[in-house]
Chain A
Amino acid sequence: QLQLQESGPGLVKPSETLSLTCTVSGGSISSSSDYWGWIRQPPGKGLEWIGSISYSGTTYDNPSLKSRVTMSVDMSKNQFSLKLTSVTAADTAVYYCARTGDKGTWYFDLWGRGTLVTVSS
């Protein structure tokens, strides 16, 4: 049974880089039909799609984040990662990793539990 688990620092200082990893277990990240994505949710607010990446490195991201986002895949570790640079308090959120199992319809059918990242000095 495929599972996703986010990991990374829970506290990041303003202007620094937020780095998160999502580990895929129970299956391979190398499926040609899957895309792996990041979605965030500020406390008490709604959901924002950050971006998605295929195992081959094709990426789609949200222009609202003004090129601060880098995503990558490590097939040897069955992981994919997110880096968000120049963070501010507005980047404080629960960050979820998620799978798109059908890139024709682009819905997120499998989610990690989420990890809270707080931006504060």
Chain B
Amino acid sequence: DIQMTQSPSSLSASVGDRVTITCRASQSISSYLNWYQQKPGKAPKILIYAASNLQSGVPSRFSGGGSGTDFTLTITSLQPEDFATYYCQQSYSTPFTFGPGTKVDIK
């Protein structure tokens, strides 16, 4: 199985901050990397697919990058509604696996 790690596991930030979350795969997954946002008590929501493609309806302050084993999710200007947990997911091979999550909370 491909193992996914994320860093940091949590971070505190202020509204307007630029935030970057890193995801690393245990082997190369090309660009088969997706990012989700999850708020408490809610289902995850897709933000970015195939490493850098913004899902329709997702604000442009979210962006993704990377390929191979190292990926990033960047939020350019953090908004109050962005405080949530973010997960990466590899879709290169089954079993599809998720990272452990990065919780973004208010400083």
A residues lining the B interface (CB < 8 Å)? 46-49, 60-64, 96, 98, 102, 105-109, 111-114
Number of A-B contacts (CB under 8 A): 58
What residues on A are CB-neighbors of B95 within 8 Å?
49, 61-64
CB distance from B7 to the nearest CB of A (A): 14
Residue B44 lies at the interface, judged by CB distance under 8 Å to chain A:
yes
Q: Which 9 A-B pairs have the closest CB atoms?
A: A106-B91, A111-B43, A107-B34, A62-B95, A107-B49, A47-B98, A49-B96, A105-B50, A60-B94
Looking at the complex, which one of B34, B44, B50 makes contact with A111 (CB distance below 8 Å)?
B44
Known: A48-B98, A49-B89, A106-B91. 9 other contacts (CB 8 A): A46-B100, A47-B101, A105-B34, A105-B49, A107-B49, A107-B50, A109-B46, A109-B55, A111-B43
Interface string of B72-89 (1 = CB under 8 A from A): 000000000000000101
- Tell whether A113 pairs with B98 under 8 Å between CB atoms, given A107-B34, A107-B91: no
Contact of B87 among A46, A63, A109 (CB under 8 A): A46
A96 and B43 form a contact (CB under 8 A) = yes
A47 to B99, CA, bound (A): 8
Residue pair B46, A108 in contact (C-beta under 8 Å): yes
**Which residues on B sit within 8 Å (CB–CB) of A61?**
94-95
* Whole-angstrom CA separation of A62 from B93 in the bound complex: 11
Q: Nearest-CB distance from A112 to chain B (Å)?
A: 7
Which residues in B have their C-beta under 8 angstroms from that of A113? 42-43
Does B18 make an interface contact (CB < 8 A)? no
CB proximity of B102 to chain A, nearest CB, Å: 11
Which chain A residues border B96 with CB–CB below 8 Å? 49, 106
Q: Which residues does chain A contribute within 8 Å of B55, judged by CB atoms? A: 109
Would you list 17 pairs from A and B whose C-beta atoms are within 8 A, ordered by A residue? A46-B87, A46-B99, A47-B98, A49-B97, A61-B94, A64-B1, A102-B49, A105-B49, A105-B91, A106-B32, A106-B96, A107-B49, A107-B89, A111-B44, A112-B43, A113-B42, A114-B43
